[in-house]
Chain A
Amino acid sequence: MSANISTTTSGEAAPLEIHDLTVAYQKKPVLWGVDVTVPKGNLVGIVGPNGAGKSTLIKAAMGLLPVSSGWVKVFGTPLKENFRRVGYVPQRESVDWDFPVNVMDLVLMGRYGHLGVFQRPTKRDREIAKECLDKVKMLPYANRQIANLSGGQQQRVFLARALAQEADLYFMDEPFAGVDAATEAAIIELLHELKSKGKTLLVVHHDLPTARNYFDMLLLLNMRVVAFGPTEEVFTYELLQKTYGGRLTILSEVAEAVRTKT
């Protein structure tokens, strides 16, 4: 261990390496030749217009969608061999909130990857789930049916479940969609805490003005990668214009966002 200190960054493969990834729905490509290597310990925002393939990128990287070409490696191996190191926060609308489970059951699902085929969640798994609920301030709601949660609470519970996965690389699909300001602040604080622990996070994000403050790195996406790099280098008028095309409303938003930067 001590011998490797100087090479810790190069000692382990990158958390996420995407090579020449193309995804198509019925011959129509939605992602084209995505080539990205995400270095460890970064909070990466995936930004782009509607239909840019942001969610598709996450899903394809996780093996949830068939890809037309290219490959994805997680810590140097295919995801299937390394799924325990990957945590996932799907879009809130993607599940049925009438499902007959309570908050605790849902967070415990995050532990399933660590359990044997027939194994039940242990006392320790329950402790971990409780700690994670506490981190998102949802512990008092542990026994509540998930149908009786507000949008922000649902998102917090999803985050608690991702935390319970105890992963090293997280994919989050619009965790800020439809949550109130307090929840948004709580979530971003949590993401920074995870980052400070050396976790790598990829977050699909919709809101340009906040993107600049939230993320260390940005992946500007519009079917292909327009730019990927540290936020201060990538968040420029030219690149954002390239990402969003000529859409007027967005462009003025971009101009506004770039202006407030200085």
Chain B
Amino acid sequence: MSELIPPFDWQQHVIAPWTEGFGANIWIVLMGFFVATACGLVGNYLMMRRMALVGDAISHSVLPGIAIAFLLSHSRGTVPMFIGALVAGMITTILIEVIHKKSRVKQDAAIGIAFTTLFAIGVILISLYASQVDLDQECVLYGEIAFVPFGEPVQLTDAFSAPVPVFRMGIVAVITLIFVVLFYKQLLVSSFDAGLATSLGINATFVHYALMCWLSITVVSAFESVGAILVIAMLILPGATAFLLSHRLPVIHALTVLMAALSSLLGLHLATWLDCSMAGAMVVMASVLFVLAWIFSPLDGLLVRWVRQRKLHLEPPEEIIVVPK
């Protein structure tokens, strides 16, 4: 057993990453936090719209967009990449809508058709033009967050520089936060009831496509550096945990950010301890937080459910006691 799981050492696995490895680890944790915050907040709305899997779909189907952007611009610059991802993301969204509305195929199957088709086209493009495209699907899907600190630095001030991916993801996370705060009303009501939104003068279709656009940008700015697994997981896990802990959307947003920070930080320590993949460890910690919330949530966690079940025959529910006149 001891050969499989290395012994845990407080000094080495909890303290040392911050005393010795600070310079690198701070960027890894920050990157994980930014990715999880941006993805988590967008994911909140995907989940409320029962579209959680669209995130999964778009994170794969942006591949041909990125490949074409490379072929056309011959660069790995941020701008062409974003444009490629945006276009591919939009095409995916439209394709899903069209297949689902204009045929008898249901939405979940439509998602499966749209993203696998686009992903396959991306794979073909990359293998066809491999010599011209400095990119392979491995690097897009399995980017590694541990390499983030060694990215090209951006000089922010004379004394302070940040790796490009972290800087870019930080901006995306901040903009996501600003969007969620500014357009809270529009996002909330169009997610709840598109018909009502329209009757209130809010263009629900526009909100839908804007959300999908932003999802594409978030996904593409994250996964080149951290890999698709972390991105897909962070779209769903922190939000799912938050939904178990609160019934109010603003609180859910705040808890999502908190879960993002916790899973990123705990993931780093887990990875240091087991000497394993950072992204994998962060996702596993996010899952652990989810399971904890599932069991211990004061709202309707397994424990509370169990206690309630036992109390059920002792007290009638309040509605029976209070008869409104």
Contact = CB atoms under 8 A, between A and B. Distances in A.
B195 interface: yes
A105 B252 CA distance: 14
Interface in B184-226: 184-186, 188-189, 191-193, 195-196, 198-202
Interface residues of B, number: 27
Interface in B227-268: 243, 246-249, 252
A86 B196 CA distance: 11
Contact of A109 (B183, B195, B196, B248): B196
Interface string A78-107: 001001101110100011100111100110
Nearest to A114: B200
Nearest to B195: A64
Contacts of A117: 186
Contacts of B182: 118
A63 B194 CA distance: 12
B238 to A, nearest CB: 15
A89 to B, nearest CB: 9
A99 B199 contact: no
A63 B202 CA distance: 12
B15 interface: no
A113 interface: yes
A90 B192 contact: no
Interface string A55-69: 000010011100000
Interface of A: 59, 62-64, 80, 83-84, 86-88, 90, 94-96, 99-102, 105-106, 109-110, 112-113, 115, 117-118, 120, 137, 145, 147, 150, 165
A112 B186 CA distance: 9
Contact of B189 (A62, A63, A83, A112): A112
B196 A101 contact: no
A101 B201 CA distance: 21
A99 B195 contact: no
B25 to A, nearest CB: 34
Nearest to A62: B199
B48 A113 contact: no
Nearest to A86: B199
Given A83-B199, A113-B200, A147-B247, A99 B192 contact: yes
Contacts of B196: 88, 90, 109
B324 interface: yes
Contacts of B248: 100-102, 105
Contact of B198 (A64, A100, A120, A165): A64
B249 A100 contact: yes
A173 to B, nearest CB: 9
User: Looking at chain B's contact residues, is the secondary structure mostly helix, strand, loop, or mixed?
Assistant: helix
A137 B324 CA distance: 9
A153 B257 CA distance: 33
A100 B48 contact: yes
A106 to B, nearest CB: 8
Interface in B160-197: 182-186, 188-189, 191-193, 195-196
B48 A99 contact: yes
Given A83-B201, A109-B200, A112-B189, A100 B195 contact: no
Contact of B185 (A96, A112, A145): A112
B189 to A, nearest CB: 5
A102 to B, nearest CB: 7
Given A99-B191, A100-B252, 13 more contacts: A59-B195, A62-B198, A64-B195, A64-B198, A83-B200, A83-B201, A96-B48, A96-B50, A96-B192, A112-B200, A113-B200, A115-B185, A117-B186
B189 A90 contact: no
Contacts of A94: 193, 195
B68 to A, nearest CB: 33
9 contacts: A80-B201, A86-B199, A88-B195, A90-B195, A96-B48, A101-B248, A106-B192, A109-B196, A120-B185
A86 B182 CA distance: 25
- 5 pairs of A and B residues whose beta carbons are closest in the complex: A113-B200, A88-B199, A145-B247, A83-B201, A64-B195
Contacts of B199: 62, 64, 83, 86-88, 113
Nearest to A59: B195
B192 A63 contact: no
B105 to A, nearest CB: 15
A100 B201 contact: no
A115 to B, nearest CB: 7
A100 B200 contact: no
A120 B247 CA distance: 20
Most A-side CB within 10 Å, residue of B48, B195, B324? B195
B247 A102 contact: yes
A87 B201 CA distance: 11
Contact of B193 (A86, A95, A105): A95
Most buried by A among B196, B201, B248, B252: B196
B251 to A, nearest CB: 8
B249 A109 contact: no
A63 B200 CA distance: 12
A109 B201 CA distance: 12
Contacts of B189: 109, 112
A107 B47 CA distance: 22
Given A64-B198, A83-B201, A112-B185, A100 B246 contact: yes
**Most chain A beta-carbon neighbours within 10 Å: one of B182, B183, B185, B324:** B185
